[in-house]
Structure 1
Amino acid sequence: MAGHSKWANIKRQKAVVDAKRGNVFTKLSRAIIVAARSGIPDPAGNFQLRTAIDKAKAAGIPNDNIDRAIAKGAGTFSDGNSLEEIRYEGYGPGGVAVLIEALTDNRNRTAADVRVAFSKNGGNLGETGCVSWMFSQKGVCIVEDVMDEEKLLEASLEADADSYEMTDDEVAEVFTEFTNLENLSQTLKAKGFHVTDIELRWIPGNQIEVTDPDQAKSVFKLIDTLENLDDVQNVTANFDISESLMELSL
């Protein structure tokens, strides 16, 4: 999982820079809508909503926009657009499996955009279920300033985490069942750890090793193209690329 975790870490760093772009505001606002719709529209009792709001505030989204997104999810405000969640699946260069989560008010437009992204970047959009069986959804806590790995292990075990992985100097990702994510986050914080991000992530059960530089560039270009689509919320792929090749390809 090391290569994939390294890529996830790079994506988070990239997201900080990209937060100035309008489509990132759109994605974060839509995440709030989904969270408010799937649970109670009160962040105090809805962990997913609370997390989405925290990310929106960190990106500088105004409170009025956040409140409006919550109201949309709760059904107390409407702008005439009805959003639905759709998952797309396909294959990228070299047979890499790609899973896309989208939120759209026009599924025909989104499907066309996703199909074009695949076809222009050496991939193919597949049928529902063609790759999703390779992934399982996990909760992930990103912890920074980890000075004592043994203490992290003890805290993770206490919180019923599945595993953890050091992805960078003093940065760790701790994995758990998605239903246990709030408990994991609270336990790590109570133990004094600096939890900087909380997310749900699709984890591949098997990985495709990419060793060709041109193929690696094509994979990254496909993922970037998909992530830049306004309706796409998240993109996951099952590639494994060495850090040296990753640095050359980005």
Structure 2
Amino acid sequence: MTRFRYVIGDVQGCAEPLQALLAQCDFDPIQDQLWLAGDLINRGPGNAAVLRYLRSLGERATCVLGNHDFFFLAVVAGAVEQGADDTLQDLLDAPDCEELVDWLRHLPLFHVEDSFAMVHAGLLPQWSIAQAQSLAHEVEVALQSCDWQAFLRGLWGSKPKNWSDDLQGPDRLRIIVNTLCRLRFLRLDGSIDLKPKGRPEETPTHVPWYEAADARWRSHTILHGHWSALGFRETGQVIALDSGCVWGGALTAWRLEDGQVFQQACACAESSGKRD
């Protein structure tokens, strides 16, 4: 029987703060469960250590993929190249790189349990929880297929901007991934805008995805990361968990059973100041 479930925001390769936070939570891998809201790697110094630890937890860890995790897989697939701010070389050089890639490819993009749903970035207001699960599964099938490299080579881009149930092929899969792994803001006409990254109060011409009117996903409490400018924030049924560990902020854990918050200061600050 599970004692506690802890959900943690973007680790981004900060292995030491992760272990310090788990010690602060008194996390017990026998009795407790650990949920990770994506961006497990990149920008921090301990990517391989983070993945090895989470993989070692087996069914006691539930992780969803974030945009940085997808980026690493795309690097492996030859779809993109590392930039100056990326810190993925320890993974690419790791003797167990192939095994870690395979483990990442088999992670979900969306997790639902009881009245909670966990996603890295966000959801579109048109999507119910059940539809979001189904759409995430479409991407998971492609990512776990024998042709996963080709899928990733056709994934990159920011279009289409509007969801339609009639979308097919790469456009359909791309907007699903962009929503679940990159979304922050919607324009006032409901279209997706992936460029703004600041706080909502600094972007009055846009609507945070979680404030969209008549959203069909409001049957559940949504747990997400990705938006470090928000910091830890509880907004009604939405819990934002990216408190900017890799930017010199903190790594945050939220306990599902009682809402208790745990935070660990981080020293592995990324120096460029370029958040994504």
Same fold by TM-score, threshold 0.5 exceeded? no
The TM tier, using the shorter chain, reads under 0.3
Structure possessing the higher radius of gyration over alpha carbons: 1
After TM superposition, the score normalised by the length of structure 1 is 0.25
After TM superposition, the score normalised by the length of structure 2 is 0.24
Greater share of helix: 1
